[in-house]
Structures are given as C-alpha cells and as structure tokens.
C-alpha cells in the first residue's frame, strides 16, 4: 500500500489556503489527510512550514505551544524574549495571555510562515481550543494555520466561513474520484481498470482512500470476483475498523453505533424510538469524532455510515447482540415509520425482521393508507412480489390490490384477480360482485350504467372502504346522467363519510363532483367559492393525488374567471403528475383544459398534441363521454382557426354526418353528456358549412333537453350558439335580442370564459350590442373579459362598401365566403389553387379591417 498518487487539485487548494488565517482539513481516518500534507511539503512551499504531528501526550495545555516555540526558535532568536519566561515558570497563563505571547512571537518572524498541525483531534483540552479559536481572529497577515483533524475543532467554523477567514477541505474533497482510482489502480497493477470495475469500486468504497487501496490489492490478488464481493468483512478492513472505530467506543455509545448501522439512514427521532432517549447527544458526539458518520445528502437532518463500515458494524452487532435483538430493532423501526406515515420504509424494515405475519400486517396497513390517499402505484409496487396464494388467503392484501388495479386502469389484471378471488373467498367477507361492478364502471363508463345493477352501489356496505367507493360512485352516476340535484346530495354525503373514515383521495374526488354540479347548475360563484376554500387547505408543495384532484378543480376556476396565465401555470404543474393512477375525470380535465388554454394563447400544435395524447390514454377503456369531449374540442379549435380542411377531416373521422342523420339528438327526453357534446360538435360543423337551419334544429333540441335536466350552464352554451347562428345568417337584431333575453334569464354571472369559448362568435355579438348601446356591462366584468370584449376595431367600425374596396376576383371570393363555402370549395368554383384562395382571403380581411373569417361573414350579412 506504499504507492501514492499526486493529488494536484488538493495541493493547489492548500496553496490557496495560505491566503486564509485558517485552513481546516477534516475527515474520518483513511482519507489521506497526512499523506496530503506530506506531499504538499515535499512539493515545496513558498512559506516557511512549522509542522507538528500531535499525539495524545500533547493534550497537556502547554505542550503544543512549547512545540510551536521550539520550531520558531529554529527561524528566529527567542531566547531573550521576556514572554518566553512563562514557559519556565509554574504560574497560570490565561487564554488571552497565551494569545498575546504567540502573537508577539509570530511578529518576530519576518518571512511568511505556515503552522501545520496534524491529528488535531487528539486535543481535548478546552484551554487549547479556546486559544486557537481566539488566535485565528488576530493572526498577523504573514501567518496562517493548517489544521488536520478527524472532527471539527471547537471553533466557530460557520462564522469564519461567513467572514471568509477559513478554507475547509472535508471528505467530499478528499475522496478519490474515478480518474484518481484508475490512476491508483494503474500504479499498483500496471494496467487500467475497465469502466465497469471503476463504477463497482467507486460505489463500494465511496472514494475512501484506504478502502480503495485495500480493494485494489484484493483485486490484484484474486481477480474480478474479489472486487465484486469486496465488503466491510475483509480481514484487513475488520482490523482497520476494529482499531480505528470500535476500540474508541464504550458502553452505550458502542451499542448505539452497532444498532444504528442497521439503518441506511438514521436521525434522532428514529434512534430515540429504537435505541434510547439519549440519541441526540450520542449522534452529536459521533459527528464530532468523525468516525465515518456523514450527513445523508438525501434526507435533511439524517446521517449514515460509510457503506463499508456499515457492513462491518452489522456483522459485529450480530456477534455481540444476536439475531433476536436485530429483529426487535427492525420491528421497532417499522413501527416508528408507520407512525410517521413513511410507509415504504416501514414495509422495508418489517420485511427484515423474520416474522412473516407481522410483515403482511404492516404491508396491509400501508396499502390501506395508500388506497385512502390515492397512491395506487405504491400499492402495486409493494404487492408486486406477493404470490397469488398469499393474496387469496389474505383479503387485507388482495382487496387493496384490486382497487389499485382498477383505479390505475389495469383492467385485465383486475379481472384476473377478481376471478381468482371469486373462486376462493368467503362472500360474507369480500363482495366480489361489487368489485366487478366497480371494474365495469371504470372500464366501460356509459355502457356500465346500463348493464350494472344500481343496487350494487346503493346498498349499504358494512366495509367502510366499499361503502365510501359506492357512495362516490353513486354521485358520479347521477352526474353522468345529468341528475344534478341528486348528484350534489350524493357527493356531499360521500364527502362527509370519506372525511370520517380518512379516505382523502375519494373525499377530494367528491369535492370535484360538488364543484361540477354547481358549475353545470349555473351556480358559478358557489363553485368558485367552494373550490377556492377547499384548495386553500391543500399543500401545493406536496404533489399528492389529492392535490392533483383539487388542483384540477382550481385550474378550471382560474380558466372560468379568465385568469388564463394562472390556469396555464397550474396545468404545467399538474400535467407531469397526471398518470394512470389518476381518476379518468381528472386526466381528461387536465388534458382538455390545458389544450384549450394553449389554443387560446395561439399554440395550436401543442394544443392538438395534448388532445391526441388524451385519445391514446383513453384507448384502454370505452369512454364515450370523454371521447365526445375531445371531438367537441377538436371541432371548436378547428372552427376558431378557420381550418376548413381540419373541420371536414374531424367530421369524417368521428362520423358526425352519420350521427346527424341518425337524429339521436331529436329525443328531448334522452340525456347523456356524450349526446350533448356530439350535438355541439355537429352544430359547429354545420355552421361552418352555412347549413344554419340544420344547426339550429340540433341546438334547439339540445336546449330543451338540457333545460329539462336542469343543466343550466350547458343549456346556456347551447342557447348562445343558437344566437350566433342567427347573427351569421344576418339576423343581427334577432341575435342581440336573444342575447339580452338570455342575460335576463341566466344572469351575467353565468357568462364565464367557457361560454364564450364554446359558443364561437359570441364575443362579436356582445360587442355589437355594446356599440349599438343596447347592452351595458359592469366595469368589473368588462375588465375581467377585456381581451374578448374590447377590440380597437370591429365590423361596425368599417363604414365602407366591400365593392369599393375589393377587386373583382376578391369580390367573387368574398361572396362565396359569405355563402358559407369552405376554402376548398371556393377554390374549385373560382378555378384557383387553395393557397391562392388563402392569399386572397388574407387580403380581403385586411381591406375590410377584420381579423378572421367569422368577422368577414358578419360584414357580408350586415350588408
């Protein structure tokens, strides 16, 4: 082990340290502190070096200072200095007097010099520590001190750092990097290590110099197998750790060190729970002694042992205390982590304590907690290694697994385990038909409502988990069917019971249903107030499934209030957290909402990609409700973008013509949300084609259906689309009168952002009514929707005749546009290329002073 590598970066740091009053090198044994100091001196230093290598005998309060003076005498005559008599007498010397003596002596030396003290940790005398602490504060500029120690000295190191009076090199600086390990390996063996060998060696030793050398020597002797199996139980390391660590520990501290080595990371509360109440004092002592204990970078306030020492200590604990003690410690750790809701760690330690029943009990408790908080992936991960036989025997494990699979949309696996349980379980203990009904609901959405017995969800379950699931499901079914009053009552009941039994995830889902009910019933203010109040109590910093549910509701609130930037910011936080474990309602709302928000901001491609991604997510089930929302949003965006090609391709892809011809929409008594959304998408398409009468028929029937169901906000959107159709047909007065009647009927408060977005052109009707002094809006509302209702120029400002502005070709195209023809059809009838048509339309918009197709059509109809 005599070969050493030159560590030039560290040597340069020591050179830099000469510009500081104090340089502190602090690390556990074997990190090469003494070797580094030797190399630095051997390389040659511009300063005079006074080197002291301390032993325990130097703990006498004058010994170390006598050594400094003896070294100083070699550089300058101190025999006649009056203060030197202090060392010849027996009189007491105060700390301040000693500092003065040292400063006087230092000032007699003219050239710069450095006092290097190795193994400063052997000093236990508080007098010596106090003298050095004060000395650093008043050192002359030509003097600096380098201390090497296993532990930080009794100095105010933090304050010295702030004052930039100290340079600290710790184990992070001293540990070998991969390049240095390879350099050391080449020096010992004559050949370079492979990258795989380097990674293995670095991982095992964490760059600890002695560990690296021992591992390399073992590797040279026995080959690759020795390197891969190198651990803290090597004879050389056993001797090293035994001498450097265990021999220094006695009594309770020794047992504390051995026991705490069972944990990958430990802190005071854990050690108090497992070992005893004096843990804080012992940990502080160990940190100060620098015995391979280091802060855990991943957990603030926690510590860990060097991995090689940890293995050694665990082996010693087994020898000294036995397996029974170790199992008891693991069990106490599991109980502690359960009490802190750190469930994964609780399971990990319970699995080590050699008691299967206890392990399964901790696993069941943890999975039940995860189900309640909506952390379904954690359940699936924890139960991944449990055999089918155990799952069938232990319902406390199999039921959380089935719930997690259903909520995560892993339907085939859920079917498998339900079939397994159906053949084995006691129907009194596990209601398999109920679980199958839940699975069918999640997998097939609308189809499930027809095929399921509603009694599965309305019956009162004695099992709290099944009862809360059934109550939330009932609320959801009422919402889907448009029975909003019943949905609201059921959701509030579900929320109350979920809160009582600790189902935070389902409680937040019930909150979403309450908010949707208020929103659809035209109680926008109530929805906003409710959501704002609920969201106020959730911690935004913890991106939990509960936060995802409530954050989704809050995003909708921001959007409806036209706080677009805030809604987008929340979507950007939500999207990475939305995964297969989220409720389908949440997934759809986040993707649809974010797509619409991006489209509002003019990011059409990103908006489309989000809808495409949502389509891919929904392919795992049959969700006609959410599919219809996608179709409506695709068509809405295409209409707003005036992309006739996209409009037609969407209509063809989703069979809107066939849907219109089947006339399902004529049945006023039949409501499903999918019917409403397809009706709106069809009305958008028909309007873009100039087929206004057909669009009006669909919208009129839709209004009747929605108002019968009491779905006030959705009925308002349908009515607004009707008045826009009238406006596009040139019936301006009729449209404005309809708007005023609608405002009287619903109230201005119901005209939120979604109403404007889902009735394209509504903002134009509003502005027209305002300009004709037929509508006056409150200032607060006008400011809230300023970008929608205040344009610097509008169709009414253009007091010109298109015939006087447009060329003959442009007038021909303008008249075809007014007739409702799409761009492709205009190109065919005029005999020009599609790109030329678009170019002419752009010129037409500019000459008329309008910004889009709809505004140009309104100019045409007004005239």
One-character DSSP codes across 158-175:
HHHHHTT-EEEE-HHHHS
Same domain, yes or no, for 221 and 134? no
Question: Both tokens of residue 71?
Answer: 């070294």
Does the residue 351 lie in any domain?
Answer: no
Instruction: Please state which of the ranges 69-78, 369-378, 768-777 shows the lowest mean pLDDT.
Output: 69-78
The tally of CA atoms less than 13 A away on the side-chain side of residue 831 is 1
Q: b/e per residue, 498-520, with b = 16+ CB within 10 A?
A: beeeebbbbbbbbbbbbbbbbbb
What is the average pLDDT across 684-709? 92
pLDDT for residue 26 is more than 80: yes
Read off the DSSP letter of residue 748.
Answer: G
Query: Is the residue at 253 inside a domain?
Result: no
- Overall average pLDDT of the 410-428 stretch: 80
Q: 458 lies in a domain? A: yes
User: Residue 714 sits in a domain of what CATH number?
Assistant: 1.25.40
Query: pLDDT digits over 530-588, tens only?
Result: 888 998 888 877 788 999 999 999 999 999 999 999 999 999 999 998 877 777 888 89
Instruction: Strands of 501-642 (E only): list them.
Output: none
- Of 222, 259, 452, 262, nearest to 348 by C-alpha is 262
Q: Are 75 and 48 in contact (CB under 8 A)?
A: yes
- pLDDT of 442 above 60: yes
Assess whether 700 and 820 both reside in one domain: no
**Looking at the structure, do residues 133 and 48 belong to the same domain, yes or no?**
yes
Tokens of 402: 């089935």
**188 and 125 together in one domain:** no
Distance, in Å, from the CA atom of 645 to the CA atom of 633, rounded to the nearest integer, reads: 16
The answer to whether position 341 is within a domain reads: no
Q: What count of other Cβ atoms lies within 10 Å of the Cβ of residue 813?
A: 25
Q: Do the beta carbons of residue 382 and residue 369 sit within 8 Å?
A: no
Q: How confident is the model at residue 818 (pLDDT cuts 50, 70, 90)?
A: confident
Within-domain flag for 382: no
- What is the Cα–Cα distance from 153 to 147, expressed in whole angstroms? 9
Query: Residue 641: is its pLDDT beyond 80?
Result: yes
Boundary of a domain, candidates 559, 583, 616: 616
Do 733 and 589 lie in one domain? The reply is no
Judge if 648 and 756 occupy the same domain: yes
Say whether 406 sits in a helix, a strand or coil. Answer: helix
Residue 2's pLDDT band, with cuts at 50, 70 and 90, is low
For residue 116, what pLDDT band results from cuts at 50, 70 and 90? Answer: very high
The predicted structure's pLDDT at residue 432? 84
| Domain final residue pick, 174, 202, 222 | 174
pLDDT tens figures, 209-237: 887 877 787 777 766 666 666 765 666 66
For β-strands 113-118 and 143-149, DSSP reports them as: parallel
Q: Which residues contact 39 (CB under 8 A, 6 or more apart)?
A: 4, 6, 7, 11
pLDDT tens-digit profile of 53-100?
A: 988 777 776 788 888 888 887 766 655 555 555 555 556 678 888 898
Q: What is the pLDDT of residue 450?
A: 54
**pTM: predicted TM-score of the whole model, two decimal places:** 0.69
Nearest in space to 217 (alpha carbons), one of 556, 151, 209: 209
Strongest mean pLDDT among 183-192, 280-289, 689-698, 817-826: 689-698
| Tokens found for residue 354 | 């050699």
In a domain, 515, yes or no: yes
**Does residue 742 have a pLDDT over 60?**
yes
Quick one: pLDDT at residue 90? Answer: 56
* Residue 465 in domain: yes
Q: Cα(563)–Cα(553) distance, rounded to whole angstroms?
A: 14
What are the residues whose beta carbons fall under 8 Å from the beta carbon of 556, sequence distance 6 or more?
Answer: 515, 519, 531, 567, 589, 593
Neighbours of 533 (CB within 10 A): 10
Domain boundary among 772, 794, 816: 794
Check residue 271 and give its pLDDT. 94
Same domain, 163 and 182: no
Residue 152's pLDDT band (boundaries 50, 70, 90)? confident
Q: What is the CATH number of the domain that holds 148?
A: 3.40.50.300
Give the residue-averaged pLDDT of 316-333: 94
The answer to whether residues 731 and 823 belong to one domain is: no
- Residue 359 resides in a domain: no
Integer angstrom CA distances of residue 201 from 174, 182, 219, 311: 16, 10, 10, 16
DSSP string, 175-240: S--HHHHHHHHHHHHSSPPPHHHHHHHHHHHTT-HHHHHHHHHHHHHH-HHHHHT--TTSHHHHHH
**Cα(208)–Cα(213) distance, integer angstroms:** 9
661 and 547 share a domain? no
Least Cα distance to 618 among 645, 643, 583 occurs for 583
Q: What is the pLDDT of residue 232?
A: 59
% of the chain exceeding 90 in pLDDT: 36
Do 54 and 157 sit in the same domain of this protein? yes
Give me the pLDDT at residue 851, please: 67
pLDDT digits (tens, 9 = 90+) for 173-222: 988 888 888 888 888 777 788 888 888 888 878 888 887 877 787 777 76
Dihedral through CA 172, CA 176, CA 178, CA 181, nearest 10?
Answer: -170
CB 716, CB 750: distance < 8 Å: yes
Q: Give the tens place of pLDDT for each residue, 481-520.
A: 888 899 999 999 999 999 999 999 999 999 989 988 888 8
Give residue 687's domain range.
Answer: 617-794
Flag whether pLDDT at 812 surpasses 50.
Answer: yes
Same domain, 662 and 762: yes
Number of separate domains in the chain: 6
Sheet holding 113-118, edge to edge: 48-53, 113-118, 143-149, 22-26, 166-169
- Which residues on neighbouring strands pair with residue 113, listed in sequence order? 48, 143
Could you give the count of Cα atoms lying within 13 Å of 204 in the half-sphere of its Cβ?
Answer: 24
The mean per-residue pLDDT over the stretch 410-434 comes to 80
pLDDT reading at 285 higher than 70: yes
Tell which wins on pLDDT, 595 or 850.
595
d(CA 541, CA 529): 22
Based on the domain organization, do 553 and 460 belong to the same domain? no
């Amino acid at each position: 082990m005599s070969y050493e590598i030159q560590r030039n970066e560290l040597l340069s740091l020591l050179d830099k340290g000469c510009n500081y009053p104090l340089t502190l090198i602090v690390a556990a044994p074997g990190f090469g502190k003494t070797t580094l100091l030797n190399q630095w001196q051997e390389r040659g230093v511009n300063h005079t070096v006074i080197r002291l290598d301390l032993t325990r005998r130097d703990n006498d309060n004058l010994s170390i200072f006598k050594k400094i003076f003896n070294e100083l005498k070699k550089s300058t005559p101190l025999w006649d200095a009056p203060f030197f008599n202090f060392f010849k007498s027996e009189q007491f010397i105060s700390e301040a007097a000693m500092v003065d003596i040292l400063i006087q002596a230092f000032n007699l030396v003219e050239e710069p010099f450095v006092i290097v003290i190795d193994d400063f940790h052997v000093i236990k005398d508080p007098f010596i520590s106090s003298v050095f602490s004060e000395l650093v504060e008043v050192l002359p500029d030509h003097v600096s001190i380098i201390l090497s120690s296993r532990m930080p000295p009794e100095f105010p190191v933090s304050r010295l750092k702030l004052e930039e009076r100290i340079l600290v090199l710790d184990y992070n600086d001293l540990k070998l990097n991969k390049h240095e390990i390879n350099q050391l390996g080449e020096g010992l063996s004559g050949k370079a290590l492979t990258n795989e060998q380097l990674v293995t060696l670095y991982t095992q030793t964490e760059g600890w110099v002695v560990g690296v050398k021992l591992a390399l020597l073992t590797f040279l002797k026995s080959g690759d197998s020795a390197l891969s199996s190198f651990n803290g139980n090597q004879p050389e390391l056993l001797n090293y750790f035994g001498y450097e660590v265990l021999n220094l520990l006695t009594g309770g501290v020794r047992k504390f060190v051995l026991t705490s080595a069972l944990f990958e990371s430990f802190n005071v509360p854990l050690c108090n729970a497992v070992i005893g109440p004096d843990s804080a004092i012992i940990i502080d002592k160990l940190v100060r002694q620098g015995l391979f204990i280091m802060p855990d970078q991943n957990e603030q306030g926690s510590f860990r042992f060097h991995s090689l020492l940890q293995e050694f200590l665990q082996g010693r604990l087994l020898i000294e205390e036995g397996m029974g003690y170790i199992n008891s410690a693991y069990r106490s750790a599991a109980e502690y982590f359960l009490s802190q809701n750190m469930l994964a760690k609780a399971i990990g330690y319970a699995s080590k304590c050699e008691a299967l029943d206890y392990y399964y009990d901790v696993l069941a408790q943890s999975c039940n907690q995860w189900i309640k908080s909506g952390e379904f992936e954690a359940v699936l991960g924890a139960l991944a290694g449990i055999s089918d036989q155990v799952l069938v025997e232990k319902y406390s494990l199999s039921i959380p697994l089935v719930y997690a699979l259903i909520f995560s949309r892993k339907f085939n696996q859920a079917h498998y385990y339900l079939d397994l349980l159906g053949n084995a379980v006691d129907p009194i203990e596990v209601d398999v038909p109920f679980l199958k009904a839940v699975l069918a609901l999640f997998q097939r959405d609308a189809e499930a409502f027809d095929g399921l017995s509603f009694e599965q969800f309305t019956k009162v379950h004695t099992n709290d988990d099944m009862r809360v699931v059934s109550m939330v499901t009932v609320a959801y079914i009422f919402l889907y069917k448009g029975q909003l009053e019943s949905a609201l009552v059921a959701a509030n009941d579900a929320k109350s019971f979920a809160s009582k039994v600790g189902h935070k995830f389902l409680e937040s889902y019930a909150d979403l249903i309450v908010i949707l009910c208020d929103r659809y019933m035209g109680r926008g203010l109530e929805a906003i107030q409710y959501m704002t109040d609920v969201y106020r109590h959730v911690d935004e910093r913890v991106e939990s499934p509960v936060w995802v549910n409530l954050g989704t509701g809050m995003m909708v609130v921001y959007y409806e209030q036209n706080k677009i930037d805030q809604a987008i910011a929340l979507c950007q936080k939500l999207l990475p957290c939305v995964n297969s474990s989220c409720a389908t309602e949440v997934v759809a709302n986040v993707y649809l909402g974010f797509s619409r928000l991006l489209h509002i901001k003019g990011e059409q491609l990103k908006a489309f990609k989000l809808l495409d991604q949502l389509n891919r997510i929904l392919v795992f089930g049959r969700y006609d409700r959410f599919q219809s929302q996608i179709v409506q949003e695709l068509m809405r965006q295409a209409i707003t973008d005036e992309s006739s090609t996209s409009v037609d391709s969407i209509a063809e892809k989703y069979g809107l013509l066939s849907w219109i011809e089947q006339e399902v929409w004529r049945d006023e008594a039949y409501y499903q949300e999918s019917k409403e959304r397809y009706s709106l998408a069809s009305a958008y398409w028909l309007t873009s084609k100039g087929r206004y009468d057909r669009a009006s028929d669909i919208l009129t029937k839709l209004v009747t259906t929605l108002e019968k169901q009491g779905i006030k906000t959705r009925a308002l959107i349908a009515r607004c689309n009707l008045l826009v159709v009238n406006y596009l047909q040139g019936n301006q007065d009729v449209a404005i009168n309809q708007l005023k009647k609608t405002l009287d009927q619903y109230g201005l408060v119901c005209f939120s952002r979604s109403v404007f977005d889902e009735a394209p052109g509504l903002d134009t009707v509003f502005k027209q009514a305002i300009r004709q002094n037929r509508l006056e809006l409150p200032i607060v509302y006008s400011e809230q929707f300023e970008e929608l209702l205040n344009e610097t120029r509008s169709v009414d400002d253009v007091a010109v005749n298109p015939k006087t502005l447009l060329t003959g070709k442009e007038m021909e195209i303008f008249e075809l546009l007014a007739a409702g023809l799409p761009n492709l059809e205009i190109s065919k009838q005029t005999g020009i290329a599609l790109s030329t048509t678009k170019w002419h339309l752009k010129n037409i918009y500019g000459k008329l002073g309008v910004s889009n197709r709809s505004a140009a059509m309104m100019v045409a109809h007004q005239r």
